[in-house]
Homo-oligomer: A and B are copies of this chain.
């Protein structure tokens, strides 16, 4: 008998009908001979409504009490889901993050899982129950306070439980059919990806693909838990994310997995920085001390005449104000001329393990952008990814041009799948 962890997002359990539909699907998995653990998010807009209430009573709700509040959302959905399953004649028990043994650090609102001790889940399964677990939440190791895992936390709960229970697969049910070669809202010809490696999925996730978050994929890779991303509304196979193609699937690794884009970032340019050792360190220490995560960093070649250079970096728009403040405060220590802030940028990324051994990829990428008339402002590369920053307005055209150039369009005769290259 296999053990399956299924995770259902808020849109899948948005109302009583959704909960009943999901309950049927869960019972199917049980009838197929599996032990089933289900991780569930809060229903539809519940979390937003709770946040709205919190803002009405306090202008800056945060910390311990905010976590206590938000975790009510999953408590509601998981209890209802257990009831709906029992109504179908199967035994089910729901468990809070704390009851399920999801132990975290004490960083409220974005806690990290440090251990999973699923003794009660194991017992419930052995007694024939379907176990329903609240996503997104845990309990802190030191103070025994309720914590939440931050954005996308339910996916992480699911993968962490799958790892702790040695599950065969972690199924992430969502409102799309899987991971696509590009955002289907931008690229109509985007194709569903049948299988993608952890590494390529990590790059897509950190380049703007919203289906799975980086943290969840990273966790799955570390414990080698295959993820199956699929729709809770259809019965279709979705996208498998794993180290190697699963079972009898003879899926070959494509050169290019997909094109991701991101328009949630802004660009900060520090102008007129003395070109001497240690300057970048001072700048990025100021940013790090303000707890701001940055993405791309580019330093221009310094002008020989002045001995000054410019350093640009990108970061989430929401962190823009904080970054500018931090740099202004550190201005004397750094000694730059001025700051420029630009939130009208977009990032386009091409991801694929195959590009390591296909030297023409970079050139083809830039040619596609050039043909589409897109100007490139910054470039950043990893072994299996090329990213460029452009004007935000250029992003849709750029994504379509690149998607098409690499033969990813669904009706294209040029779609080429190469064999894996030694990975």
What is A's interface to B at a CB cutoff of 8 Å?
16, 19-20, 23, 50, 53-54, 56-59, 61, 64-66, 68-69, 71-73, 75-76, 78-84, 86-87, 92-94, 96, 99, 120, 144, 146
Contact = CB atoms under 8 A, between A and B. Distances in A.
A64 B78 CA distance: 12
Contacts of A83: 54, 57-58, 61, 65-66, 69
A59 to B, nearest CB: 7
Given A78-B68, A80-B69, A57 B16 contact: yes
Copies in the complex: 2
A64 B94 CA distance: 9
The 5 A-B pairs with the shortest beta carbon distances in the complex, nearest first, are A16-B56, A69-B79, A68-B79, A58-B87, A72-B75
Given A50-B76, A57-B80, A57-B83, 5 more contacts: A53-B76, A54-B79, A58-B86, A65-B79, A66-B79
Nearest to A16: B56
A79 B51 CA distance: 11
Contacts of A19: 57
B61 A99 contact: no
Contact of A57 (B58, B84, B120): B84
A80 B53 CA distance: 8
A78 B86 CA distance: 30
Contacts of A79: 54, 65-66, 68-69, 72
Given A19-B57, A86-B58, A72 B72 contact: yes
